[in-house]
Amino acid sequence: MQEVLLFVYSSMNINNMENQLRKSNSTVISGVYTGHKQRVSPDMLIEQYLSTRKLSEQIVAGMTAEDMQLQSMPDASPAKWHLAHTTWFFETFILNNVNGYKPFHDHFNVLFNSYYNSVGEQFKRLSRGVLSRPSVEEILAYRHYVDDAMCKHLAGEINDDEQAIITLGINHEQQHQELIFTDIKHAFSLNPMFPALIRQQYTDGPVQALKFISFDGGLYECGADAVNGEFCFDNEAPRHQVYLAPFKLASRPVSNSEYAEFIAEGGYANPLLWLSDGWAWIQEHQHTQPVYWKEQEGERSEFTLAGLQPLQPNAPVCHVNYYEACAYAAWADKRLPTEFEWEVAAKSQPVEGNMLDMNVLHPQVAKHSGLTQLFGDVWEWTGNAYAAYPGYQPAHGALGEYNGKFMCGQYVLRGGSCVTPPGHIRSTYRNFFYPHSFWQFSGIRLASD
């Protein structure tokens, strides 16, 4: 109850700040990493900052303090750590450079630094769950303290570099909003009571027959256009030419029932379908189905953020890793699309779909025919290793550690998921995870030559 009351206070506090800040004059925002200037009103920056901060607290409002403490594996983090780390970002890269600003707590610089070695020491990632202190209440107080200081700073003169970093920080927090969902889902899945974050009953429905849509080969421009003034991460640029042979892309993601056929035909027991590392992973962990599928009295269920539910046969299969995606594609006599094939197909589609909706939070059955569900529902594995584009340059200084140093041993996913905040995704967005990672809402779309 205490956390809920603190959230209500926070929302009221932010709304008051927002009203005061709207009295400011126009300013200029620089495109992050590009130096390109785009004029916007201060209202837009203020609204983006405050609404993003507010949404993070709305996401955790239904959690207990005990929920927010959980860290179920080294790849995941407690919800309260996410709330603190996203606050640390604004304090570290903006407020600590403002004259007269006093950091909220001296130890927070280490506790909530994720991986910025050039900034300083970090608390061990795999041990974040042992940090019972600071409490949830103190972390929320930290957020309010930083929000108050940020709003005062935003009401003044902001230089181009600061504006670019604030925009990056907003997008960074949106990434962590998605991680809050995926991390708490993994933690809840280990509880035999199968707790639910939301109350919802998912229903199945008819699905379009899987079709393959043809695309012409040729030279295509891929990557973010760094001169149009819109935000992009540095790993999306520069824009460059890519030659593609003619290809076909599946009209929708692979469904649960289609993946169940793969399982029934011995997909997890056939080494000929698996990459060597994938087969070793299967042998080590003894997986025989997607991680959140459960067998109960001959019926399949799936653990969701709304608790344990009957498996929806026609909804997209999710929480499969790269190894599983490749094995399924081999079984289907198809392949995964390249990230550039995916991007070329997605450019012609509106950026809309089943994204973060607190009443859903789960992939849904496709409602339209033709090429569909490219955005939202499930992140789609591609066949590309996560690497730099030709001419790539990381950002200068500590923020250069944001993306570039992770370009080793990971694979690219595209399109966003059912817990990706709306407005955060685009056709050039490159997500990336290690091939064994399954706790994200990741799925499969097939391709062929």
The answer to whether residue 201 is domain-embedded is: no
The answer to whether residue 317 is domain-embedded is: yes
DSSP string of 73-119?
STT---HHHHHHHHHHHHHHHTGGGSTT---S-TTHHHHT--S-TTT
Please report the beta strands in 265-394, taking only residues with DSSP state E, as ranges in sequence order: 293-296, 299-304, 307-310, 379-385
Evaluate whether 145 touches 101 at the Cβ level (below 8 Å): no
If asked whether residues 173 and 228 sit together in one domain, one would say: no
If asked whether residues 53 and 139 sit together in one domain, one would say: yes
If asked whether residues 166 and 229 sit together in one domain, one would say: no
C-beta neighbour count of 134 within 10 angstroms: 19
- Least-confidence region, from 17-31, 160-174, 289-303, 423-437: 17-31
If asked whether residues 31 and 119 sit together in one domain, one would say: yes
Q: Find the helix or strand (DSSP H, E) in which 242 lies.
A: strand 240-244
Cα Rg, the chain, nearest whole Å: 22
Interval 148-205: pLDDT, tens = 999 999 988 888 889 999 999 999 999 999 999 999 999 999 999 999 999 999 999 9
According to the model, what pLDDT value does residue 4 have?
A: 32
The answer to whether residue 207 is domain-embedded is: no
The answer to whether residue 194 is domain-embedded is: no
Structural domains counted in the chain: 2
Interval 286-328: pLDDT, tens = 999 999 999 988 899 999 999 999 999 999 999 999 999 999 9
If asked whether residues 27 and 131 sit together in one domain, one would say: yes
The answer to whether residue 164 is domain-embedded is: yes
If asked whether residues 146 and 178 sit together in one domain, one would say: yes
The answer to whether residue 16 is domain-embedded is: yes
If asked whether residues 261 and 352 sit together in one domain, one would say: yes
If asked whether residues 310 and 167 sit together in one domain, one would say: no
If asked whether residues 167 and 220 sit together in one domain, one would say: no
The answer to whether residue 298 is domain-embedded is: yes
Last residue of a domain, one of 189, 221, 243: 189
Residue 295 main-chain phi, psi, to 5 deg: -105, 125
Domain of 389: which CATH number?
3.90.1580.10
If asked whether residues 225 and 264 sit together in one domain, one would say: yes
According to the model, what pLDDT value does residue 25 have?
A: 33
The answer to whether residue 143 is domain-embedded is: yes
User: What are the CA-CA distances from residue 270 to residues 262, 264, 293, 348 (Å)?
Assistant: 10, 12, 20, 38
If asked whether residues 154 and 226 sit together in one domain, one would say: no
Range of the domain at 271: 212-448
Domain of 128: which CATH number?
1.20.120
Average pLDDT taken over every residue of the chain: 90
If asked whether residues 290 and 420 sit together in one domain, one would say: yes
Interval 252-272: pLDDT, tens = 999 999 999 999 999 999 999
